[in-house]
Structure 1
């Protein structure tokens, strides 16, 4: 069954339009491919997060980040470390992409030059100094509490493992009290064995730097014979050391029913930040910064809801992704599109905008190309018609042969298909063929050919 003529014309017009727009489409696709290759918008499917010792708050938070990014198809490899200082060193060496780093651990100048950036401050990490009540009584028979670091002279004190950052902080605090580390019987056990040694009486005091969610902190807060040191000079420490903040453990916050603790306790706290390398893919930095909103935005023992994450207490420059996730408004498309599509638009919106600007002048060449392609179907036969007309004027060839050529040319024009808007040019060609035939018949009668002119 032959195709209806109207449908044939429509398909022909569509084909002409596609062919005419081909150069523009080719340029746009080429620009998109080049931009995609250069910008590399899609992130790797695997990222390494430096956490901390097993059982620490860092390790617990690391698992929550792994679960959050798994929903977007990203595998988070959790790398156990000795703590904040170890995490920082791994970031410097390129052994981790992201890591938890406690305030006071980083060198703001050197680490900024090394390409480390902050994704935001996440939570307070108090300096917990737990001590045995019987050790406090040995210092002063009447006093059963410790309130200053100078009271620790001669005691067996564990200051966490090297690489955790705690030994460095304690050394700075002791120096501020005109004390040498040799004035204490220091050890560097990991938090878990140090806790057991404290409970067993093999240590007099231990220092931990961890979020309240740490199982070890929770255990020691409820242990019999173990007390938490009240830093009565916390404000003074905070003035001397910018990376420390004076915080208060409110009365009854651990357990309201048993009124634990029975009074407010002044503590010192560093602020832990999520640090990333500049070489880490921007989309991954964005995912971590966005996940921090859900992981750390709740109220805690030392902060109100939505106090964290923030960009106010970061020692290192905050990356654009962290600042946008914490202080900005996410683009509307993030609420409706999957991560890969949202990220593609996020990374390539400037290129897409540039292509729109580029297409405005390029699109102006499509109508002339389309017009030329359609009209060329008609105009190319004028060369043949002019050739026949020249022969008619010069009386070259045979009269019947020229008529046959005109008839053939007329048959060809009847098979030409053009859009309705261009039919006037097709009919003009047919009229011109008819005019040449009419002149041939008028100026070159058949009898004249027979008599030789």
Structure 2
């Protein structure tokens, strides 16, 4: 190995030893911050949806596909509906869930344990009835009020959907006693089959128009959709309801379905999450909600949803930022996991830099001390030899041998070029001491012999 390479490696070793403790401290702090912040989201998440063929299930599949692009596996947990979803969140069996306003009773503890990612879409109350049943029982071709349901057999949804509770409020507001009609609480699919077979006179859904059942029934001959003629009054009586209108021909323009404007009442569905759900997951769901729910629909204009207005629970700050603010610059050009890591760690990096900069000032003096100590530690031994010589009583030849050993060791010292002057100064000082010893030795050799010796 050449002398230059050996000097370089030695300098690197000194630098590593001098800066090593500080570097280890910095790495330990970064690892600790990473463990504490957990910037990388988990690779799987559970989303509670709803019954088979419901709008909740359809939207859940869209989130599943959207988050798969970022390496997140979304597990869809089917349930009976909104009320069941809320209970799944409370029990910790789901991380996120679709919950419809007004169909589930919120508890005081929910405001501390749950957050909202905003309102996603409206869910009208679809009350489908058979035309023959309306003629036979109500003596009318078309129905426009709940009071006309007296004497009918009506399915008001499964208990877990929360719809029976909502319909109970609406029927009570219309002064319809429990015995004036027959209510059943079957699941959506078997209820629809019974309805089409004539075993039920009417069925009630609370669902977005994307529901396959809704779209099928809207186009089924002999089935009509009840118009809530008093939808404005319903919205004043019940704050969680909104009056909406299903425009004429919006289902099928060529077939003119529906043949007239239909007034409906609708509640808003939100995406709720547990408060301890990873913030990066909340950001991903909120950002994808802009794409999934941002287009125009039967009851809303483009970019009207998702919305952070009129939320029943606190809005997660990640959702508020994703919905109401432009996408962060880094997420436009970097993969989400890299951008998320930088965004969540940049403050920690700033704090670490502010903390480490003052400490880094000790590295140059420590490095200088290590290099110079290889030279200066020989000065102590050189001084001892010189002191022994001046005090007398020591054999000059023994001192010369010690000096030879020191000089041999000094010849092996390697220092950076910036410190070479100190190494050569040590060699000069060794030479000075040697000359002093040599002069004394020469004087002893030429001194005249003592008489009588």
The normalised TM-score by structure 2 is 0.93
- Match 2:222 to one of 201, 220, 225: 225
Aligned mates of 2:313, 2:384 — CA distance in 1: 82
Aligned mates of 1:354, 1:315 — CA distance in 2: 37
Matches within 5 A, 1:330-341: 330-341=327-338
- Indicate the SS of the match to 1:160: coil
Q: Does the 8 A contact of 2:130 with 2:222 survive in 1? A: yes
The residue number in structure 1 matching 2:419 is: 422
Aligned mates of 1:124, 1:289 — CA distance in 2: 17
Matches within 5 A, 1:263-282: 263-282=260-279
The residue number in structure 1 matching 2:258 is: 261
Aligned mates of 1:422, 1:242 — CA distance in 2: 82
C-alpha distance 449-169 of structure 1, shift in aligned 2 (>3 A): farther
The residue number in structure 2 matching 1:85 is: 83
The residue number in structure 2 matching 1:207 is: 204
Q: CA deviation at 1:222?
A: 0.6
Q: CA deviation at 1:449?
A: 5.7
Q: CA deviation at 1:150?
A: 1.4
Q: CA deviation at 1:139?
A: 4.9
Aligned mates of 2:309, 2:162 — CA distance in 1: 22
Q: Does the 8 A contact of 1:271 with 1:313 survive in 2? A: no
Q: CA deviation at 1:376?
A: 1.0
Tell me whether 1:399 sits opposite 2:396 in the alignment: yes
- Match 1:105 to one of 103, 106, 115: 103
Deviations 1:113-134 (A, max 9, x none): 4501112211111111111222
The runs of 5 or more residues in structure 2 that have no matched partner are none
Q: CA deviation at 1:370?
A: 0.9
Q: CA deviation at 1:404?
A: 3.2
Q: CA deviation at 1:397?
A: 2.1
Matches within 5 A, 1:305-384: 305-384=302-381
Q: CA deviation at 1:140?
A: 5.2
C-alpha distance 426-144 of structure 1, shift in aligned 2 (>3 A): same
Q: Does the 8 A contact of 2:124 with 2:264 survive in 1? A: yes
Q: Does the 8 A contact of 1:56 with 1:215 survive in 2? A: yes
Matches within 5 A, 1:296-307: 296-307=293-304
Aligned mates of 1:420, 1:182 — CA distance in 2: 103
The residue number in structure 1 matching 2:92 is: 94
The normalised TM-score by structure 1 is 0.93
Q: May I ask how many residue pairs the two structures share in their alignment?
A: 449
Q: CA RMSD in A?
A: 2.1
- Indicate the SS of the match to 2:160: coil
Q: CA deviation at 1:333?
A: 2.6
The residue number in structure 2 matching 1:34 is: 32
Tell me whether 1:152 sits opposite 2:149 in the alignment: yes
Stretch moving more, 410-419 or 59-68: 410-419
- Indicate the SS of the match to 2:200: coil
- Match 2:442 to one of 442, 446, 449: 446
Q: Does the 8 A contact of 2:283 with 2:319 survive in 1? A: yes
The residue number in structure 2 matching 1:138 is: 136
The residue number in structure 2 matching 1:388 is: 385
Stretch moving more, 172-181 or 57-66: 172-181
Q: Does the 8 A contact of 2:158 with 2:186 survive in 1? A: yes
The residue number in structure 1 matching 2:116 is: 118
The residue number in structure 2 matching 1:289 is: 286
Stretch moving more, 207-216 or 228-237: 228-237
Aligned mates of 1:220, 1:80 — CA distance in 2: 22
Stretch moving more, 55-64 or 10-19: 10-19
Aligned mates of 1:9, 1:242 — CA distance in 2: 81
Deviations 1:75-113 (A, max 9, x none): 222111111111111111112111111111344552534
Deviations 1:257-301 (A, max 9, x none): 122222222211111111111122223222222222222222211
- Indicate the SS of the match to 1:163: helix
Aligned mates of 2:104, 2:129 — CA distance in 1: 29
